[in-house]
Amino acid sequence: MGEYVAGYHTVVWNATDNASNNVPSGIYFYRINAGNYSKTTKLVLLK
């Protein structure tokens, strides 16, 4: 995604993998990194 200046930002995931294939319903994890801060959170995708 790259680097952003300080502030509020939105990221939209279109429920596809790195090869642009649709992913199934399930539990996915995403990570936010900002300097020394890192947080991993669970995301539930229901179709």
In Å, how far from its chain's centre is CA 1?
Answer: 10
- Decide which of 1 and 7 is more confident: 7
pLDDT at 2 exceeding the cut of 80: no
pLDDT of residue 1: 66
pLDDT of residue 39: 96
- Predicted confidence (pLDDT) per residue in 7-38, tens digit: 898 989 999 999 999 999 999 999 988 889 99
Triad 19, 23, 24: Cα angle to 5°: 160
10 Å CB burial of residue 16 (0-12, 13-18, 19+) is exposed
Closest CA to 15 of 6, 3, 24: 24
40 phi and psi angles, rounded to 5 deg:
-110, 130
